[in-house]
A and B are shown apart, each in its own frame.
Chain A
Amino acid sequence: MLEPDPNYFSSFVCSGEIFELKAELNSDKKEKKKEAVKKVIASMTVGKDVSALFPDVVNCMQTDNLELKKLVYLYLMNYAKSQPDMAIMAVNTFVKDCEDPNPLIRALAVRTMGCIRVDKITEYLCEPLRKCLKDEDPYVRKTAAVCVAKLHDINAQLVEDQGFLDTLKDLISDSNPMVVANAVAALSEIAESHPNSNLMDLNPQTINKLLTALNECTEWGQIFILDCLANYTPRDDRESQSICERVTPRLSHANSAVVLSAVKVLMKFMEMLPKDLDYYGTLLKKLAPPLVTLLSAEPELQYVALRNINLIVQRRPEILKHEMKVFFVKYNDPIYVKLEKLDIMIRLASQANIAQVLAELKEYATEVDVDFVRKAVRAIGRCAIKVEQSAERCVSTLLDLIQTKVNYVVQEAIVVIKDIFRKYPNKYESVIATLCENLDSLDEPEARAAMIWIVGEYAERIDNADELLESFLEGFHDESTQVQLQLLTAIVKLFLKKPTETQELVQQVLSLATQDSDNPDLRDRGYIYWRLLSTDPVAAKEVVLAEKPLISEETDLIEPTLLEELICHIGTLASVYHKPPSAFVEGSRGVQHKRLPGSTGLGESLESPDTGSAAGGSDAPPAVIPSQGDLLGDLLNLDLTPPATTGPPPPPTSGMQLGAMDLLGGGLDSLVFFLFLSPRVQLGGDLGGSSMGAGFGAAPAASPASFSAPVSGGLDDLFDLGGGVGMPMGAYNPPKTVWLPAMKGKGLEISGTFARRAGIIQMEMTLINKAMSVMTDFAIQFNRNSFGIAPAGPLQVLTPLSPNQTIEVALPLNTVGPVMKMDPLNNLQVAVKNNIDVFYFSCQYPISVLFVEDGKMERQVFLATWKDIPNDNESQFQIKDCHLNSDAASSKLQGSNIFTIAKRTVDGQDMLYQSMKLTNSIWVLAELRVQAGNPTYTVSIPLRLKEKKAH
């Protein structure tokens, strides 16, 4: 009988055995040699040290037996690093093998050589590698492509010096799809360590090649190519659509990684498609089934898929809105899958499916796994907050769960009921009695704190609130800070509501907090309450019992810019951890933040990489409601960063000294610059449309897309009036825009505009009450702003505003208020108060309302000033499609206090010299050139302007 294959694994390497192996390795018999190498490899595999055999194994390398050769190579790769001098012995054989007629041997040699991480060897690798990169056999080329990445890992400088990167780039155009895929993979890996290099120069031609290779290469190659495609920004929506069309078939691939990479490309490029396009809808429909399919795969795949779906439903909930059921939890799903599914269920919950979701959640709340049960209970609370119509059912479900008396269920339920109270105040107090029954079973700080909050908040409805709180007070020092703070506040609230019976209690808690505690937060809060109560009980009431802002619907949404970045990284580790890639993966420092491309129609903005986001961000993602801290910001010291505004900050431009000029210090550059950037300036009114980018001679090329949005429609711009002579002259007033939507104003909607009427700036507002209750007690205040604009009188809303009533208000303004430079300059932050709350919004006034009536400069002065300014400080831009003659334009402009000082005609071109003066006595000079028959006006603004005292 022949012996079966020896069990290499069990061989144990001791010194005697090493000796034995050595003898066998040096044997003349081929077969014995091979068996010996196998034994060596087996020992190596299980982590035993057989490096002592290095010379003997390398001696076996010169063989025509392919298996033996491969085994020796395996050994070499493992030990070369520890025996660099010995490894040199192998070089000759490698170089020879790279010339072997058999492409398999050539590829094997170049592949192995790249794996030997020894500097001395890499020097010898360059020549063979260069040949192999141009080998006639694609198998060798594709192997060599990966070898460049290996070499780069060992010695990046060498790779650059030898020009291998260029050869690699050439391989992207190779005729063989596998070679293309490997070249892309190698370049991507190299690019990761060179974040700023322009290795992957993607242009429509290379994209086309990649798309062709995509259809023919292996599944792994498809992943590399798709990931590479995702970095490309198409020129326009047509290109975007054509790429999407060619990528869509990948959604049906059996390899889930291919599917998810394809989803990434589609999610990103979809941003550029117009939403009314039929194809857009088709694409949305096509995305759902592959995502659902991922959920029927193995649990590990499901987990990664779910983490990504979590991002996708935040960005585009419409894709999966009908697929709620696939996220229902199965009894034997691993816990990490269960928790993720639960999260997505909440995100998809809506009025249409809430009944189903609740029934499921109730089911989950009786499962075994504690973490899961807790999250399910919490989810019920989130449903209540998210879907108002379901709140009642959620509360009753939670009450049912409290009845189970399962300790952690009860505690979790109480925590979420507190949140429900915050969202729907004074609606469900009837449940408080039930909650109070469970007071004693609460042992977790969060649950205790929640319960105490409830008792304090509804102290007037709970007869024995003082007893309940007192019972907590006994062990005050053993409580966690969270509970202590809550207890302090609750007792103060109780005192303010029922001062007679609870004086003693409040004394007790204040002294516990201030004297016996070493926690500074607790002490501080204690002292504040104490002083408030002792000095001004009325103020104390206003502070402590102030109406709290409602909590927002979804507190755990990912911040929109991060979400956009993560969408660009679907399928990666970043998407699993929901963190930007720069935050956590080693070696990817300085990774460029990726953004979604903006939607189309603004060709120019897409060329510059960092402008698209503004447009992209403006559509889908729901605004995250600012946290309480921001909402409570002091009225007069609003230090909120201004919410998204329409005008951009003046970007630095070469040739213009915009540097450190201060608006009020006499330097006017930024003001003037701004003047013409602002689309609301009368002259610029027409600039809003597509002529924007082209219209600015010296202005920066990158004008964010959002810039034009608010202006494009409906401006009664003078230049649009065609033969506007004889039209009534008057100042230009922009139409009203919504400043405060009813959503944010608790039913109060404010829209408005600014106008200059009879020398007085007016803020004209329309107030609409969209709430169910009457609104009274209106008042208004402005934050400090660039021109010191302030209300000249109180806001006159005489009658109470009843539901659905609309009122027009004109508020006269003056410019004597406090001044602070705003960004953009014409930004105005406004606070409006009524009996319900204080609301904050910001708006922008057209700079033209600040042009005063006496802005006509004397000719001599004008001339002198004009000459004073060097020519190269002049900034020019053009206004297109204006069909007015110069006289009409001039008189139209005068309506807005832009005065024509002089007019010159040179070569059939009318030059209008104009002046205007701002409320803060700053003069602006301009030259307007009008060529008869040419609808393009040229405006020149000399930049260094001097502040002139009024005459």
Chain B
Amino acid sequence: MIHSLFLINASGDIFLEKHWKSVVSRSVCDYFFEAQERATEPENVPPVIPTPHHYLISVLRHRIYFVAVIQSEVPPLFVIEFLHRVVDTFQDYFGVCTEAAIKDNVVVVYELLEEMLDNGFPLATESNILKELIKPPTILRTMVNTITGSTNVGEQLPTGQLSVVPWRRTGVKYTNNEAYFDVVEEIDAIIDKSGSTITAEIQGVIDACVKLTGMPDLTLSFMNPRLLDDVSFHPCVRFKRWEAERILSFIPPDGNFRLLSYHVSSQNLVAIPVYVKHNITFREGSSQGRFDLTLGPKQTMGKAVESVLVSSQLPRGVLNANLNPSQGAYTFDPVTKLLTWDVGKINPQKLPNLKGTMNLQAGASKPDENPTINIQFKIQQMAISGLKVNRLDMYGEKYKPFKGIKYMTKAGKFQVRTYQHFLMVQTSM
């Protein structure tokens, strides 16, 4: 099982270690540092690294490497999922998951880690249970504790840990009972140079914020549940009911949680909400290249495309770029060759355009790489898959809750490949 955990910051310092079995010397991290050195980018460090006596399994989150040490055969996904849970818990407790926040709350961090694993076996990883065991630090509580000498460790056995609904604590009370659901879809797509879709898929989630008194039993139904053929549920969802009736029936955890995540595969027809017209060319023998890029909305059902951000890694030979945006601002980093253009909102009447020239190193040959254009955007009040919630009902409690559903579509990994006229100056055969 999980032996130890090391937290390493971007500059390669181990700033926290925790051992659940015998102590493993921190020199084991040297193997990690070696791998880190070999990697060109921080995110290219391989997630599983073998050492003579241990295995290091790591995730990179918020510019911190969480490195778990294991000694015997343990499913790597198990370890990675656990590390994710650690990150989520820190974020939940401290608002952010940064080195500073962890250092400031080092005792709470230690208490949490101790509570999350016992001898390397996960013990309590549900945020609801943890919060009953260890109260999150707040300025108010810190003050109260200092005055009264009380503690931020719960004295009671967390009830949820043993009930059949371990994710929900008992005795929840609210004056305002409310249940909000956010349907958030991310569209991943690769568009080829001619503008046709190579692959497009949607990763969707339904995040909930439920603050309801007592033990409410909710059902959520959809107008078009057929879209959801590939789903992952929060443990609270009754799977049999879903299988039989395509209805989500569940006793919700208290507070924020992810009810469901789903995947609409590339085999379905996925609508692409923006298009890009681009012309990025270099000519043989010339030290200048042309750059011309126009964005436009399509298939957005009349909703506005907002927070648009375009970025592209220009070829290494590009020295600088003189571009003229019709709206927003652009930057070009001559070191990393990264071009970013903060477009803002797309106005369908006046399409945003970025146009100008790129200068190559004098005498440099034509670049061989194809720049890829990454696009980020948001569309409010629309789920691009067309998923729609039909109704939400509550059983088991008498009061009438406030209910709300929000939809949003975002770009995930949305990439447009460009030309780069693959030279074809035929040499004489």
Q: Which residues of A contact B (CB under 8 A)?
A: 2-5, 7-9, 30-31, 34, 38, 41-42, 45-47, 65-68, 70-71, 74, 78, 81, 102-104, 111, 114-115, 117, 137-139, 143, 146-147, 149-150, 153, 176, 178, 182, 185-186, 189, 192, 216, 218-220, 223, 227, 249, 252-257, 259-261, 289-290, 292-293, 296, 298-301, 303-305, 322-323, 325-326, 328, 330-332, 334-336, 356, 359-360, 363, 366-369, 400, 403-404, 406, 433-434, 437, 571-574, 576-577, 581, 584-588
Among the stretches B115-123, B350-358, B391-399, the one at the interface with A is: B115-123
**Whose C-beta in chain B lies nearest to the C-beta of A256?**
B77
Q: Which residues of B contact A296 (CB under 8 A)?
A: 188, 201, 203, 263
**Bound Cα distance A46, B6 (Å):** 10
A125 to chain B, nearest CB (A): 13
Q: A41-B110, A300-B80 are in contact. Are A260 and B44 (CB under 8 A)?
A: no
Report which of B146, B157, B240, B266 forms a contact with A103, defined as CB distance below 8 A.
B157
Q: Is the CB of B106 within 8 A of A66?
A: no
Q: Is the CB of B265 within 8 A of A328?
A: no
**Whose C-beta in chain B lies nearest to the C-beta of A259?**
B232
**Bound Cα distance A260, B50 (Å):** 21
Q: For the complex, is B153 an interface residue (Cβ under 8 Å from A)?
A: yes
Q: Is the CB of A299 within 8 A of B152?
A: no
**Bound Cα distance A860, B284 (Å):** 104
Q: Is the CB of B77 within 8 A of A571?
A: yes
**Bound Cα distance A277, B218 (Å):** 38
Q: A46-B16, A257-B81, A296-B201 are in contact. Are A9 and B230 (CB under 8 A)?
A: no
Query: 0/1 per residue, B368-382, Cβ < 8 Å to A?
Result: 111010100000000
**Whose C-beta in chain A lies nearest to the C-beta of B258?**
A254
Q: Is the CB of B265 within 8 A of A366?
A: no
Among the stretches B53-61, B170-178, B294-302, the one at the interface with A is: B53-61
| Residues 231-290 (chain B) with a chain A CB within 8 angstroms | 231-235, 239-240, 243, 258, 261, 263, 265-267
Q: Is the CB of B106 within 8 A of A325?
A: no
**Bound Cα distance A305, B231 (Å):** 17
Q: A571-B75, A585-B72 are in contact. Are A400 and B233 (CB under 8 A)?
A: no
Q: Which residues of B contact A146 (CB under 8 A)?
A: 118-119, 121
Q: Which residues of B contact A299 (CB under 8 A)?
A: 43, 47
Q: Which residues of B contact A363 (CB under 8 A)?
A: 192, 370, 417
Centre residue among B77, B137, B192, B230 by max chain A CB count within 10 A: B77
**Whose C-beta in chain B lies nearest to the C-beta of A362?**
B422
Q: A326-B265, A332-B374, A360-B198 are in contact. Are A176 and B162 (CB under 8 A)?
A: yes
Q: Is the CB of A227 within 8 A of B75?
A: yes
**Whose C-beta in chain A lies nearest to the C-beta of B151?**
A67
Q: Is the CB of B235 within 8 A of A219?
A: yes
**Would you mind naming 11 contact pairs between A and B with Cβ atoms under 8 Å apart?**
A68-B151, A70-B114, A153-B21, A220-B122, A257-B77, A257-B80, A303-B47, A304-B76, A326-B266, A403-B427, A573-B73
Given contacts A216-B164, A298-B84, A576-B76, 7 further A-B contacts (CB under 8 A): A7-B103, A139-B157, A220-B122, A252-B232, A252-B233, A331-B374, A366-B422
| Residues 126-173 (chain B) with a chain A CB within 8 angstroms | 126, 137, 139, 142-143, 146-147, 149, 151-157, 161-162, 164, 166
Q: Which residues of A contact B37 (CB under 8 A)?
A: none
Give the dominant DSSP class at A's interface. helix
Q: Is the CB of B162 within 8 A of A437?
A: no
Q: For the complex, is B415 an interface residue (Cβ under 8 Å from A)?
A: yes
A69 to chain B, nearest CB (A): 9
**Bound Cα distance A296, B370 (Å):** 25
Q: For the complex, is B220 an interface residue (Cβ under 8 Å from A)?
A: no
Q: Is the CB of A334 within 8 A of B43?
A: yes
B287 to chain A, nearest CB (A): 19
Q: Is the CB of A47 within 8 A of B17?
A: yes
Query: 0/1 per residue, B65-88, Cβ < 8 Å to A?
Result: 000000111111110111010000
Q: Which residues of A contact B16 (CB under 8 A)?
A: 45-46
Q: For the complex, is B307 an interface residue (Cβ under 8 Å from A)?
A: no
Q: Which residues of A contact B234 (CB under 8 A)?
A: 254
B415 to chain A, nearest CB (A): 5
B60 to chain A, nearest CB (A): 8
Q: Is the CB of B157 within 8 A of A102?
A: yes
Q: For the complex, is B420 an interface residue (Cβ under 8 Å from A)?
A: yes
Q: Is the CB of B199 within 8 A of A45?
A: no
Q: Which residues of A contact B104 (CB under 8 A)?
A: 5, 7, 9
Q: Is the CB of A406 within 8 A of B162?
A: no
Q: A185-B121, A585-B73 are in contact. Are A325 and B199 (CB under 8 A)?
A: yes
Query: 0/1 per residue, B394-429, Cβ < 8 Å to A?
Result: 000000000000000000010101001011101101
* Chain B residues with a Cβ closer than 8 Å to the other chain, count: 110
**Whose C-beta in chain A lies nearest to the C-beta of B1?**
A189
B62 to chain A, nearest CB (A): 13
Q: Which residues of A contact B180 (CB under 8 A)?
A: none
Q: Which residues of B contact A70 (CB under 8 A)?
A: 111, 114, 153
Report which of A153, A227, A301, A366 forms a contact with B80, defined as CB distance below 8 A.
A301
Q: Which residues of B contact A139 (CB under 8 A)?
A: 157, 161-162
Q: Which residues of B contact A325 (CB under 8 A)?
A: 198-199, 201, 266-267
B326 to chain A, nearest CB (A): 26
Centre residue among B55, B106, B151 by max chain A CB count within 10 A: B106
Q: Is the CB of A9 within 8 A of B119?
A: no
**Bound Cα distance A301, B77 (Å):** 6
Q: Which residues of A contact B303 (CB under 8 A)?
A: none
Centre residue among B81, B110, B243 by max chain A CB count within 10 A: B81
Q: Is the CB of B119 within 8 A of A115?
A: yes
Q: Is the CB of A47 within 8 A of B71?
A: no
**Bound Cα distance A359, B417 (Å):** 12
Q: Is the CB of B107 within 8 A of A38?
A: yes
Q: Which residues of A contact B50 (CB under 8 A)?
A: 577, 584
**Bound Cα distance A369, B370 (Å):** 12
Q: Which residues of A contact B420 (CB under 8 A)?
A: 366
**Bound Cα distance A888, B243 (Å):** 63
**Bound Cα distance A289, B73 (Å):** 27
**Bound Cα distance A322, B107 (Å):** 51
Q: Is the CB of A573 within 8 A of B151?
A: no
B194 to chain A, nearest CB (A): 11
Q: Which residues of B contact A292 (CB under 8 A)?
A: 230, 263, 265
Q: For the complex, is B125 an interface residue (Cβ under 8 Å from A)?
A: yes
Report which of B53, B84, B240, B429 forms a contact with A433, defined as CB distance below 8 A.
B429
**Bound Cα distance A218, B85 (Å):** 14
**Whose C-beta in chain A lies nearest to the C-beta of B60?**
A300
Q: Is the CB of B59 within 8 A of A298?
A: yes
B107 to chain A, nearest CB (A): 5
Q: Which residues of B contact A434 (CB under 8 A)?
A: 429
B411 to chain A, nearest CB (A): 12
Q: Which residues of B contact A46 (CB under 8 A)?
A: 15-16, 106
Report which of A182, A192, A219, A260 forms a contact with B72, defined as CB distance below 8 A.
A192
**Whose C-beta in chain A lies nearest to the C-beta of B240?**
A249
**Bound Cα distance A536, B426 (Å):** 47
Q: Which residues of B contact A260 (CB under 8 A)?
A: 75, 77
**Whose C-beta in chain A lies nearest to the C-beta of B42?**
A334
A310 to chain B, nearest CB (A): 14
Q: Is the CB of B239 within 8 A of A252?
A: yes
**Bound Cα distance A891, B337 (Å):** 93
**Bound Cα distance A71, B152 (Å):** 12
Q: For the complex, is B190 an interface residue (Cβ under 8 Å from A)?
A: yes
Q: Which residues of A contact B76 (CB under 8 A)?
A: 304, 571-573, 576
Q: Is the CB of A223 within 8 A of B53?
A: no
Centre residue among A67, A78, A138, A299 by max chain B CB count within 10 A: A67
**Bound Cα distance A529, B17 (Å):** 64
**Whose C-beta in chain A lies nearest to the C-beta of B166?**
A218
Query: 0/1 per residue, B360-371, Cβ < 8 Å to A?
Result: 000000001110
**Bound Cα distance A434, B18 (Å):** 60
Q: Is the CB of A289 within 8 A of B374?
A: no
Q: Which residues of A contact B139 (CB under 8 A)?
A: 4
Q: Which residues of A contact B15 (CB under 8 A)?
A: 46
**Bound Cα distance A400, B104 (Å):** 58
**Whose C-beta in chain B lies nearest to the C-beta of A260?**
B77
